[in-house]
Amino acid sequence: MLTITFWICIGAVAYHYIGYPLLLFVFSVMAQAKSDLLYLIRRGSRRCPLPAAYLPRVALLVSAYNEDAVIAAKVRNVLALDYPADHLEVLFGLDAPADGTAQLLKSLQSERMQVYEFPVRRGKLAVISDLAGRTSAEILVFTDANTMLDRDSIRNLVRHFADSRVGAVSGEEIRLAAPGTDPGGESLYWRYESALKVLESRLNCSLGGNGAALAVRRSLFHLSKQSIVEDFQIPLDIRFQGHRVIYDPEAIAVEEITPSFSAQFGRRVRIGAGNYQTLFRSVEYFNPRHGLLTFSFFSHRVLRWFAPLLLVAAFVSSLLMVAKLDFALLFVAQCVFYAMAGSGYYMKKKGGRPGALLSIPFHFCLMNVALLFGLFRYLTGKQTLTWKPTPRELRGEVGQGEATARQCEDASLAA
């Protein structure tokens, strides 16, 4: 039983991180080959015709708590977006902030922008739900206060809704390295995730979204569940209702990685708690009748969330069988890997930057430990729909906020 347990756990983790991406790649190649074959037979257009003048009314919704460090840059960013002003509403919802966010917004008031102050803090999802009820726009675009949108991001997001089958479109989040931040392992992880999203979108099994740039057809925005990770729950429900969810890497949003290690870890724990909340509230999505969607949900999401428990079970199993030479070697290999992760953590705490040899094990273990903490937080009910925003280095400086916006614009253009 210990042998079976070990190989099932290691096999499941290896399948999730390596096997599933390879399967997606193979399926994607097969789908492309089918498309090419049909084109050769029919000689029709390879692209679906879209209306040239498709410009739906769009409402850009921003929920803000204590964001006085970045709110000025955010206002300038959204007012500079390349989309017809008479077709774009900008709505800010203030979730009872305790800093100078409200005062800054008042000083930057524009006729193109509406600001709503809510006296009681309820969380991001409640705020954007209220904002959605105050507009009749056809397309709702959700974005975070601390992310800067590329000038063409709105156009790139909404162009897909000319296809009536599309219910949600997610953009690409680029994470900039703030001073003092080691982006090595995290950058690799984001590239890995982006590759999976591209492949899943090609196969029409894309499920999640990105809170930095997420567009939803208003008629499909129905909040039946309160969620910590609304940017995942909303498109997940829309996709399983039969509508397409698209990932567009050309709809770019830029966010700066906080240099605070504790803030990064806390953010991961909160997201982990939200992931488990989504999992235990979405058991109906395990129905095999959903085919490729259930396959993708299980392979990409569920196995990711259970990876910490699988790793612990594999480690304990090999420890209990250490008397056997093969399992002794496997146990030592695991110890070496975790020792490398621990060394990377030690260097990080001392203010250093672990090299590639230590950075990958460190970030891999950091992600899984955060998921484990998130599971405990969810099971104990300690994670609420509200939380403290990630601290910013440029708190309260409007001029510096403009510099941050320019830095984000340069990064999006380079991407």
Is 399 contained in some domain? no
Coil, strand, or helix at residue 388?
A: coil
Q: Residue 133 sits in a domain of what CATH number?
A: 3.90.550.10
Check whether 394 has a pLDDT greater than 70.
no
Is 120 contained in some domain? yes
Predicted local confidence at residue 69, as pLDDT: 85
191-216 confidence digits (pLDDT tens): 888 889 999 998 999 888 888 899 99
Q: Going edge to edge, which strands form the sheet with 139-144?
A: 113-118, 88-95, 58-64, 139-144, 214-217, 166-177, 244-257, 147-149
Lowest mean pLDDT among 62-66, 71-75, 221-225, 368-372: 221-225
Is 413 contained in some domain? no
Write b or e for each residue in 68-101: b if 16 or more Cβ atoms lie within 10 A of its Cβ, otherwise e.
Answer: bbbbbbbbbbbeebebeeeebbbbbbbbebebbb
Residue 79: partners with Cβ closer than 8 Å, 6 or more residues away: 90, 110, 112, 113
Is 412 contained in some domain? no
Is 387 contained in some domain? no
Average pLDDT of the segment spanning 113-133: 89
Is 378 contained in some domain? no
Predicted local confidence at residue 400, as pLDDT: 38
Counted domains in the chain: 1
Predicted local confidence at residue 412, as pLDDT: 43
Check whether 343 has a pLDDT greater than 70.
yes
Tokens for 289?
Answer: 């009748």
Is 371 contained in some domain? no
Average pLDDT of the segment spanning 283-311: 92
Q: Which residue has the tokens 């209306």?
A: 51
Coil, strand, or helix at residue 299?
A: helix
Instruction: Supply the range of the domain harboring residue 80.
Output: 58-259
Check whether 47 has a pLDDT greater than 70.
no
Q: How confident is the model at residue 53 (pLDDT cuts 50, 70, 90)?
A: confident
Q: Is the dihedral of CA 283, 267, 198, 166 positive or negative?
A: positive
Is 235 contained in some domain? yes
Predicted local confidence at residue 404, as pLDDT: 42
Q: Bridge-partner residues for 167, per DSSP?
A: none
Predicted local confidence at residue 216, as pLDDT: 95
| AA identity, residue 303 | L
Residue 5: partners with Cβ closer than 8 Å, 6 or more residues away: 313, 314, 317
Integer CA distances (angstroms), 357 to 96, 184, 185, 361, in order:
44, 10, 10, 8
